[in-house]
Structure 1
Amino acid sequence: MPKIRPREFALALCLTATAGFLDAVGFLNLGGYFISFMTGNTTRLSTEVVHASAGGIGKALGIIGLFVVGTVIGSVASRLGDQIGATRNFDGRVTVLAGTSAVVGLAAAASMLDWFPVPATLIATVAMGMLNATFLRDGEVSVGLTYMTGTLVKAGQRLAEVFFGGPRWSWVRPFGQWLSLALGAMLGAWAYTQIGLAVLWLVFAGLTATTLATWWVRSNDPHDQ
Structure 2
Amino acid sequence: MQNVRRREWMLAVILAAVAGGLDAIGFLDLGGYFVSFMSGNTTRMSAEVVDVGWGVAWHAVGLVGLFFVGAVGGSILAHYRDGRVTVLAASTLLIALAAVLDLWSAVPFPPILIVAVAMGVMNATFLRDGEVAIGVTYMTGTLVKAAQRLGMALMGGPRWLWIRYLSLWAALAVGSLLGAWAYSAWGYGALWPVVAVMVGTTAVVWRHRRQRIHD
TM-score (norm 1): 0.93
Deviates more, 1:46-55 or 1:10-19: 46-55
**What's the secondary structure of 1:117's corresponding residue?**
coil
Aligned twin of 1:88: none
Measured in 1, the distance between the counterparts of 2:191 and 2:161 equals 35
> Within 2, Cα distance between the matches of 1:121 and 1:152?
27
The match for 1:100 is 91
Alignment partners' CA distance in 2, 1:55 and 1:188: 29
1:159 aligned onto 2:150: yes
* Root-mean-square deviation over aligned CA pairs: 1.2
Aligned residues of 1:72 and 1:130 also touching (Cα < 8 A): yes
CA distance in structure 2 between the aligned counterparts of 1:54 and 1:68, rounded to whole angstroms: 20
Q: Which residue of 1 aligns with 2:190?
A: 199
Distance 2:191 2:73 in 1: 21
Structure 2 unaligned residues grouped into runs of 5+: none
C-alpha displacement of 1:2:
5.5
* 1:58 aligned residue: 58
- Is 2:91 the partner of 1:109? no
Q: What does 1:11-26 correspond to in 2, within 5 Å? A: 11-26=11-26
- Structure 1 unaligned regions, length at least 5: 86-90
Deviation at 1:163, TM superposition (A): 2.4
Count of matched residue positions in the alignment of Structure 1 and Structure 2:
215
Large movers: runs of 4+ above 6 Å = none
Gap change, CA 1:132 and 1:2, over 3 Å in 2: farther
Post-superposition Cα deviations, 1:49-96, rounded to whole Å, max 9, x if no partner, equal: 11133332110000000000000011100012xxxx3xxxxx100000
Query: How do 1:67-216 and structure 2 match up within 5 A?
Result: 67-80=67-80, 85=81, 91-216=82-207
Describe the superposition over 1:8-65 as per-residue Cα deviations: whole angstroms up to 9, x where unpaired: 1000000000000000000000000000000000110011011133332110000000
Aligned identity (percent) is 53
Preserved contact between residue 2 and residue 161 of structure 2 (Cα < 8 Å):
no
Displacement of 1:165: 1.0
The 2-side partners of 1:150 and 1:138 are apart by 20
Structure 1 pair 55/203, CA: closer, same or farther in 2 (3 Å)? farther
In 1, Cα distance between equivalents of 2:89 and 2:128: 19
The two structures have a TM-score, normalised by structure 2, of: 0.97
Shift of 1:206: 1.4
